[in-house]
């Protein structure tokens, strides 16, 4: 009884400390200036003396694991998810993004209490000995992040709630254009040739995209900037170079029928720079705008800048009523052994993002899992068994069953059974 009283006092004290941290900004000061909200919260916990607590260590471990073992997704993506208050958790999402895309990350939390979600975006390190590069965070008063990708590569989104938080949320990730359309919006148009295709029998490759439209259709500034050059050349005919104001790129407009701007002129997004034609080596083709983008390293694909095509995530068709439930693998899965239990954290596409007993994350299809309400079988214990909270011998002991006791096996993993008896669930060794 004395140990239970001490444990209760400990958790009440811990809860009180966490609530003070969550509700107060007075201790932030200049000490945390320039740090991310996630880093500031972690230091608040340490300064409150919680860095030695089990909850804090689990919260920190979850944040690290989410970056080390993120679940792979494809943008656009959406899910309905849940974080429970009983165990510190975090979610990491690994995805590819291309130079010029503008990532739009929107989280819509639903909670009875005011809960802060720490939302951070990282560029994944190509070297496993290095840390991922932090790129952007969402401040405490927002749940929306917009980030313009400057390099093709892999990126990681981390979402983690503060301690003792019980919160559901909707996540939506899309990639929108970071530049405006270089052809007048109201004009009929289509892209007829893409970046990288062969030209002149393979002697060179196409360094842009061709947007076909009627002759004399306005070609417009895709961003604010300065006209660096107006001229002619053999390939492009009448051309215009526009230097972007907000990033080190130059936009190239070619095959124009006429140029409307002059060198040194400042333009705003949507200003007409020329009229579409078929000058240069395009004189035997229908009128079109050759649109290119150049960096200090040469030409890059303009398509992600103007039409990434990642605005509409696939619908969620799996049963969202299973979010938060413990299920088990019912069919063969190359990632997870059959009969393995998992906790459903989110519904996405036709399946679920789930946590395994070792806290690693997986994505499973809806037809690969089943409820644990129907046990695999009934087992009569041949000897006394300790019941553990998790499937390892260092986990907390939650009960003890004598030899001859009957238990229902709900799931199994490695050398352990997940069992239930008299409304008590736990793990026993299966020797």
Retrieve residue 112's tokens.
Answer: 């009875």
Torsion angle, alpha carbons of 403, 405, 409, 410, to 10:
-130
* pLDDT at residue 207 is higher than 80: yes
Whole-number Å distance between alpha carbons of 326 and 427: 14
pLDDT-wise least confident of 31-35, 109-113, 191-195: 31-35
Residue with tokens 């560029």: 123
DSSP letter string over 352-382? Answer: EEEE-TTS-EEEEEGGGEEESSS-SEEEE-S
Q: Output the pLDDT for position 21.
A: 47
Using DSSP, how many helices (H) and how many strands (E) does the chain show?
4, 32
pTM (global) more than 0.85: yes
Look at residue 111 in the predicted model and tell me its pLDDT.
Answer: 84
Per-residue confidence (pLDDT) for residue 394, from 0 to 100: 84
Percent of the chain with pLDDT over 70: 92
27 vs 201, which has greater pLDDT? Answer: 201
Determine the average pLDDT of the residues in 224-229: 98
Rounded to the nearest integer, the mean pLDDT of the chain is 90
Does 156 or 335 have the greater pLDDT score? 156
235-254 residue pLDDT tens: 999 999 999 999 999 999 99
pLDDT in tens, 299-348: 999 999 999 999 999 999 999 999 999 999 999 777 799 999 999 999 99
Instruction: Give 53-104 pLDDT, tens digit per residue.
Output: 989 999 999 999 999 999 999 999 999 999 999 889 999 999 999 999 999 9
Please determine, for residue 4, whether its predicted confidence score (pLDDT) is greater than 70.
no
Dump pLDDT digits (tens) for 417-430.
999 988 789 999 98
Residues 169, 81: contact at Cβ < 8 Å? Answer: yes
Q: Residue 138 and residue 160: Cα distance in Å, rounded?
A: 12
The confidence band for 204, taking pLDDT boundaries of 50, 70 and 90, is confident
Instruction: Report the pLDDT value the prediction gives residue 30, as an integer from 0 to 100.
Output: 40
The band of 5, judged by pLDDT with boundaries at 50, 70 and 90, is very low
Q: What is the pLDDT of residues 261-302, one digit of tens each?
A: 999 999 999 999 999 999 999 999 999 999 999 999 999 999
The answer to whether residues 175 and 75 touch, using CB atoms and an 8 Å cutoff, is yes
Per-residue confidence band for 141, with pLDDT thresholds at 50, 70 and 90: confident
pLDDT at 6: 39
Q: Is the peptide bond before 76 cis (omega within 30 degrees of 0)?
A: yes
- How far is residue 369's CA from residue 364's CA, in Å, rounded to a whole number? 8
Q: What is the pLDDT of residue 3?
A: 41
| pLDDT value of residue 70 | 96
Q: Which residues contact 23 (CB under 8 A, 6 or more apart)?
A: none
- Predicted pLDDT at 78: 98
Predicted confidence (pLDDT) at residue 176 exceeds the cutoff of 70: yes
Dihedrals φ, ψ of 6, to 5°? -65, -45
**Quick check: 171 pLDDT over 50?**
yes
Helices 37-47 and 2-23 pack at an angle, to 10 degrees, of 140
pLDDT score of 29 more than 50: no
């Amino acid at each position: 009884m004395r140990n239970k009283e001490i444990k209760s006092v400990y958790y009440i004290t811990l809860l009180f400390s966490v609530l003070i941290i969550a509700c107060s900004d007075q201790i932030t000061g200049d000490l945390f200036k320039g740090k991310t909200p996630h880093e500031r919260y972690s230091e608040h916990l340490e300064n409150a003396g919680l860095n030695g607590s089990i909850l804090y260590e689990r919260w920190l471990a979850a944040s690290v694991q989410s970056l080390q073992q993120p679940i792979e997704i494809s943008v656009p993506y959406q899910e309905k998810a849940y974080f429970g208050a009983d165990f510190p958790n975090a979610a990491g999402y690994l995805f590819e993004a291309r130079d010029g895309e503008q990532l739009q990350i929107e989280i819509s939390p639903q909670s009875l209490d005011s809960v802060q979600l720490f939302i951070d975006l990282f560029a994944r390190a190509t070297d496993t000995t290095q840390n991922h590069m932090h790129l952007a965070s969402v401040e405490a008063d927002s749940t929306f992040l917009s980030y313009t990708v400057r390099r093709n590569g892999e990126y990681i989104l981390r979402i983690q709630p503060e301690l003792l938080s019980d919160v559901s949320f909707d996540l939506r990730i899309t990639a929108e254009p970071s530049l405006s359309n270089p052809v007048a919006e109201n004009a009929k148009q289509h892209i007829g040739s893409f970046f990288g295709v062969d030209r002149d029998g393979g002697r060179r490759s196409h360094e842009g995209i061709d947007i076909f439209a009627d002759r004399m259709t306005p070609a417009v500034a895709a961003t604010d900037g300065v006209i660096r050059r107006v001229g002619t050349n053999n390939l492009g005919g009448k051309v215009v170079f526009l230097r972007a104001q907000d990033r080190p790129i130059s936009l190239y407009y070619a095959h124009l029928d006429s140029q409307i701007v002059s060198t040194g002129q400042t333009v705003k997004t949507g200003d007409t720079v020329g009229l579409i034609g078929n000058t240069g080596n395009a004189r035997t083709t229908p009128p079109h705008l050759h649109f290119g983008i150049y960096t200090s390293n040469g030409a890059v694909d303009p398509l992600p800048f103007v039409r990434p095509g990642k605005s509409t995530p696939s619908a969620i068709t799996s049963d969202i009523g299973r979010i938060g439930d413990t299920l088990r693998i019912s069919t063969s899965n190359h990632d997870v052994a059959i009969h393995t239990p998992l906790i459903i954290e989110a519904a996405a596409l036709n399946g679920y993002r789930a946590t395994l007993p070792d806290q690693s994350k997986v994505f499973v299809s809806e037809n690969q899992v089943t409820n644990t309400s129907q046990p695999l079988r009934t087992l009569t214990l041949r000897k006394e068994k300790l019941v553990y909270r998790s499937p390892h011998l260092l986990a907390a002991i939650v009960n003890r069953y004598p030899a001859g006791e009957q238990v229902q096996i709900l799931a199994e993993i490695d050398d352990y059974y997940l069992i239930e008896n008299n409304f008590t669930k736990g793990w026993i060794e299966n020797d």
